[in-house]
Amino acid sequence: MRPRTVNRKIPDLPRGMRKVGNAWYWRGTDRLTKEVAAALKSAGVPMRCGTTPLQARLWWEKHVSPALAAAMPDDTIAGTVEELIRQYRADELPSFRREQTKTEYEGRLGRIRAAFGTTRYPKSEAQALMPGYLSAVAITRHLHANRERASSANKDVQLLSRMFRLAKIRWGLTTFNPCEDIEYLAERPRDQYVTDERYAQIYAAASPVLQCMLEISTQTGAREGAIFEIRIGDFTADRIEIKVGKKRNAAGFVVKPFDMTPDLWAALCRALELRKKNRGGAASLPSDYLFITRQGKPYSKESFKSLWRVVRKKLGLAPREITFHDMRAKAASDEDSDVAAQELLHHEDAKVTRSVYRRKVPTSKPLPSAIGGRGKG
């Protein structure tokens, strides 16, 4: 028999209270209270409220009531962009599976809050023309003020537009989206090409584990995250399978097979030997990650940054002067043709391969002298 979420004999207990055995427990029953419950659990607060109704009430007033008050919009929040931000955080962020994605979006929401948080949002097109309300002009000015980070600024405004669409079709807060007519900043593709000489310097400055990652990336064009995901059972002496899609579809991640080469096999075998020096690395199963930290955990973006930071410090590189993602571009640039590079990186559109990843300037043979005419002879 399922426990009740309210006690009919004690009607003054908050909704969500239920008695299991001799103790009272609380759980969220709607979007807002579920968000509060998740925050309490992540903070280590137990959901056990006590053994009596009085203890349960006191527990709720101590932990839940202040959180609900902080989450509810007050008079200074209602009608502002901050209200949309809070609604988006409550409704959308919990649906993101990857913690890295949540962290990325939290950063974007923070930038939107700093720029527009206290500004009132228009609830109609007519209201958007009134002073004091967020307008397309204000958003465009914000974009141009941040044109040095064009890609990031565009993504921030795209998220703002997404919030307005949700406010229009789901939350019923407005009928107008001021981002619809925005002209986004032109994004210049990165053109940094890592020459063989420069790659040799990076390789020499890298740790042994990072050297293996560099070899895998420059030979297969694999992304940083795909390299972290390589399992011991993903490769044999004949081939290796690497995830080439960034997003999971209904069938899972897209996996691309590569024929094994001596250079790639050498890098993988070296990585296996280095793995044995870490905690739990000696006993390896096909499902275990190839690259693990000294503590025996899979590599994450944060743990990888420490490896790359050492290289930057040794070579005196600026933060964005050379990135690990440039190794993927090097693999594409060093291919013989656009078609081969597109196939290596598993791109659906060859334009992306040419415009973003083919960075090596081709060499050309000078023409003969024009004196006397080139068409003669």
Distance CA 229, CA 222 (A): 11
Q: Which of the 8 DSSP states describes residue 321?
A: T
Q: Where are the domains of the chain?
A: 17-71, 81-169, 196-357
- Which CATH number is associated with domain 196-357? 1.10.443.10
CB 258 within 8 A of CB 264: yes
pLDDT in tens, 135-191: 999 999 999 999 888 889 999 999 999 999 999 888 888 889 999 888 998 878 888
| Average confidence (pLDDT) over 118-136 | 90
How would residue 210 be classed by pLDDT, with cut points 50, 70 and 90? very high
Residue 21, class by beta-carbon neighbours within 10 Å (0-12 exposed, 13-18 middle, 19+ buried)? exposed
| Predicted TM-score of the model (pTM) | 0.64
What contacts 22, CB < 8 A, 6 or more positions away? 51
How are beta strands 48-50 and 239-243 bridged, if at all?
unpaired
pLDDT, position 11? 46
Is the Cβ–Cβ distance between 298 and 292 less than 8 Å? yes
**Would you say residue 239 has pLDDT above 90?**
yes
Beta strands 17-20 and 23-26 are antiparallel
Distance CA 289, CA 161 (A): 39
**Range 52-61 contact pairs with CB under 8 angstroms and sequence separation of 24 or more:** 52/24, 53/7, 53/10, 53/13, 53/24, 55/24, 56/13, 56/17, 56/24, 56/26, 57/12, 57/13, 57/14, 59/24, 59/26, 60/13, 60/14, 60/17, 60/26
Whether the per-residue pLDDT at 205 is higher than 80: the answer is yes
